[in-house]
Structure formats: structure tokens, C-alpha cells
């Protein structure tokens, strides 16, 4: 997608979301790959509304194209984690939602491939001054605890629970 007009970018990502919803049973894997690549590229768009709609598209497609979009976790998860430095609060708050929705369709093995970068993201956000960053960290930690084995969760909880409890 070569257009730099944010209105065109918003229209494109919205169209992708709608197409994913309406054609989940008939969409080709090559199209899912193309859609995913476009959305991930638009996560880095200059205009915050484009980034917001791209996050929304990931959430929607994660539910509608369950399994089909999961194949691109090596592209999607690192891109979402890189967004944690997002300066616009209204966009930033939706990062964890998109990440949790995306992760919910993945296998344990797929999530485990990203365990280190997700843990680093939590580590960087858990003590941030921003409540949005802290909320994102807790949401991702909760999702990881839900999906992981106890032996993988225990070190996470041992590291982060004192910091979480200190907030209260």
C-alpha cells in the first residue's frame, strides 16, 4: 500500500476488517497473508487513527480468521510489542487488546516463541508512570498465565507479583 493519505489508509484497513468478517470461510490463505502484511505496515503509520484502526483490525481478524491469521505470529506479535512506546494514549490502550485477541488463537508453542519479548515488554511497562502502560502489562501477563504451563508461569509471577501488589 503506497498511499500516504491517512483517510485512504483508514478506508483500506477498515475494508480489510470487513472483508475478513464476511469471508472467513472462503478467504484464501494468500489473501490473509497480504491483509496481515498491510495491517502490520499500517501499525507504523504516521496518523494515530490509522494505527488505532490497524489494532482494531488485528482484533477483529483474530476472531474471524482464527487459525488462518495465526500463521503470521512471527510478524504480528513483534510488531505489536514494538508499539508499546506509542505516544497516543487512545491508541496505546488498544495494543494489549489486539495482542490478547491475537494470542488467544495461538497454540502454546507459538506463544512460547515470543515469551522473552513479551516478558521484556511486561518488565518495561509494569512500573511505568502511565496507567495505560501498567494496564497493558497486566493484561498481557494475565494472558500469558492463562496460556502457559505452570513451570513457565511461576518465574513470571515470582518476578512481577511483588511489583503488582506494591501498587495497592
Distance separating alpha carbons of residues 12 and 45, to the nearest angstrom: 13
pLDDT in 10s for each residue of the chain, 168 residues: 556 799 999 999 999 988 877 787 888 899 999 999 999 999 999 999 999 999 999 999 999 887 899 999 999 999 999 998 899 988 988 998 899 999 989 988 999 999 999 998 888 888 778 888 888 889 889 988 888 888 888 998 999 999 888 877
Q: How far is CA 129 from the centre of its chain?
A: 21
Query: Tell me, what's the pLDDT at 2?
Result: 55
Phi, psi dihedral angles at 132 (to 5 degrees): -65, -45
Query: Tell me, what's the pLDDT at 56?
Result: 95
Amino acid at each position: 500500500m503506497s498511499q500516504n493519505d491517512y483517510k485512504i489508509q483508514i478506508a483500506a484497513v477498515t475494508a480489510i476488517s470487513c472483508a475478513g468478517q464476511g469471508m472467513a470461510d472462503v478467504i484464501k490463505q494468500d489473501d490473509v497473508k497480504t491483509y496481515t502484511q498491510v495491517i502490520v505496515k499500517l501499525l507504523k503509520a504516521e496518523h494515530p487513527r490509522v494505527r488505532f484502526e490497524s489494532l482494531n483490525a488485528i482484533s477483529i481478524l483474530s476472531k474471524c480468521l482464527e487459525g488462518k491469521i495465526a500463521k503470521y505470529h512471527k510478524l504480528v506479535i513483534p510488531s505489536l510489542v514494538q508499539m508499546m512506546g506509542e505516544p497516543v494514549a487512545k491508541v496505546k490502550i488498544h495494543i494489549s487488546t489486539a495482542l490478547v485477541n491475537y494470542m488467544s488463537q495461538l497454540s502454546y508453542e507459538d506463544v512460547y516463541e515470543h515469551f522473552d519479548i513479551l516478558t521484556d515488554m511486561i518488565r518495561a511497562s509494569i512500573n511505568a508512570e502511565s496507567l495505560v502502560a501498567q494496564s497493558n502489562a497486566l493484561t498481557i501477563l494475565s494472558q500469558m498465565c492463562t496460556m502457559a504451563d505452570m513451570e513457565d508461569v511461576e518465574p513470571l509471577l515470582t518476578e512481577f507479583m511483588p511489583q503488582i501488589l506494591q501498587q495497592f
